[in-house]
Amino acid sequence: MIGDKKVLFSGMQATGNLTLGNYLGALQNWVKLSDEYECFYSVVDLHSITVRQDPAELRSRARKLLTLYIAAGLDPEKNCIYYQSHVSGHCELAWILNCFTYMGELNRMTQFKDKSAKHADNINAGLFTYPVLMAADILLYQADVVPVGKDQLQHLEITRDIAQRFNAIYGDVFTIPEPYLGKSGAKIMSLQDPAKKMSKSDENVNASIYLMDDPDTIMRKFKRAVTDSEGCVRYSESQPGIMNLMDIYSACTGKSAAEIEKEFDGKGYGDFKMAVGESVVSVLKPLQDRFEDLQKDKAYIDGIIKNNAEKAEYYSLKTLRKVQKKVGFPERIR
């Protein structure tokens, strides 16, 4: 708790072009929860270097992502929006937690298996211990809740395991975090292959809606979205393409699956796809406009980066000092 509020932590990588999946699975929920919790939203640049990055590009993307958090509606006066690399406690706690995490646990992580298959020439130790750094992010702020998409649930599970293991040895040091999944949008699939998650790294540009896509591009991608030959808008496992479009429409409009089925009863896929596209444009266009405006205000963004790094550091140190003491490091002499 901070004051009378529970704590929320979440983060996003500044690698690749953010997709509608990132927005509906995470960012949109962050905004919804931001009044209720004391929130920490990090641009997790330490995680990004587990795969090779161009330094200038990483810096530029990280700044854009931080700006996008604000453009999406997170008030930086109330929410702590900051770069992970500005708070050294993340790495320090990650080291300690590494010593409480088993190789076997990390070996089971599906994201590690996927990423090492994709980057076979660079299977580094950071990629392997990535979930431990993620656990450190969350536990450092004693987070109660972590809003993420479904693909991150396994990492949340290992975070809880590490925290419980640590608490069992040293007493109640860490709050055990709960994941938060939105009602719809927790797993947005590729528009070209509904068996695959919509991903920043998909080579087929028609598979993903990028947050900065202009309205024409968005409409064109939805027109081309893969559906089926059933011809009716129904929420059914046998129609994964339609299910995905319904999830997107539901997350953008707040309508339930039953309401959507009713709305499109007797109508063709063409009408449905147009409506989905328009609902996405109406969510993304204001965000894009705010982003363009904010980007011009360098001094304002710089101020946020400075102030929030200090705020994050303050809270991170409270946990870090406690953990250091528990494991037996000598006290500092002032």
Catalytic residue among 64, 197, 221, 273: 197
Q: Report 189-218 residues binding ligand TYM (CB under 6 A).
A: 197-198
* Opening angle at CA 233, ends 232 and 236, nearest 5: 100
64: contact with ligand TYM by CB under 6 A: no
* Residue nearest to ligand TYM as judged by C-beta position: 25
Q: Tell me the per-residue interface mask from 38 to 57 with ligand TYM, x by CB under 6 A, - otherwise.
A: ------x--x----------
Least separation in angstroms between residue 268's CB and ligand TYM is: 26
Judged by CB under 6 A, the residue of 7, 8, 9, 160 near ligand TYM is: 9
Choices 52-60, 186-194, 277-285, 286-294 (CB under 6 A): range interacting with ligand TYM: 186-194
134: contact with ligand TYM by CB under 6 A: yes
Choices 20-28, 161-169, 262-270, 294-302 (CB under 6 A): range interacting with ligand TYM: 20-28
Choices 112-120, 130-138, 260-268, 326-334 (CB under 6 A): range interacting with ligand TYM: 130-138
179: contact with ligand TYM by CB under 6 A: no
Cα–Cα distance for residue pair 61/81, rounded to 1 Å? 15
Quick one: which of 237, 249, 275 has its CA closest to 185? 249
Query: Which is nearer to ligand TYM, 181 or 232 (by Cβ)?
Result: 181
Whether 200 is catalytic? yes
Judged by CB under 6 A, the residue of 21, 76, 194, 241 near ligand TYM is: 21
Catalytic residue among 150, 187, 200, 326: 200
Query: Which is nearer to ligand TYM, 151 or 263 (by Cβ)?
Result: 151
137: contact with ligand TYM by CB under 6 A: yes
Cα–Cα distance for residue pair 66/281, rounded to 1 Å? 22
72: contact with ligand TYM by CB under 6 A: no
Report CA-CA distances (Å) from 18 to 44, 172, 271.
14, 37, 27
10: contact with ligand TYM by CB under 6 A: yes
Whether 197 is catalytic? yes
User: Which residues of the shown chain bind ligand TYM in the complex (CB under 6 A)?
Assistant: 9-13, 21-22, 25-26, 44, 47, 134, 137-138, 146, 148-149, 151-152, 186-188, 197-198
Among all residues, which ones are annotated catalytic? 115, 197, 200
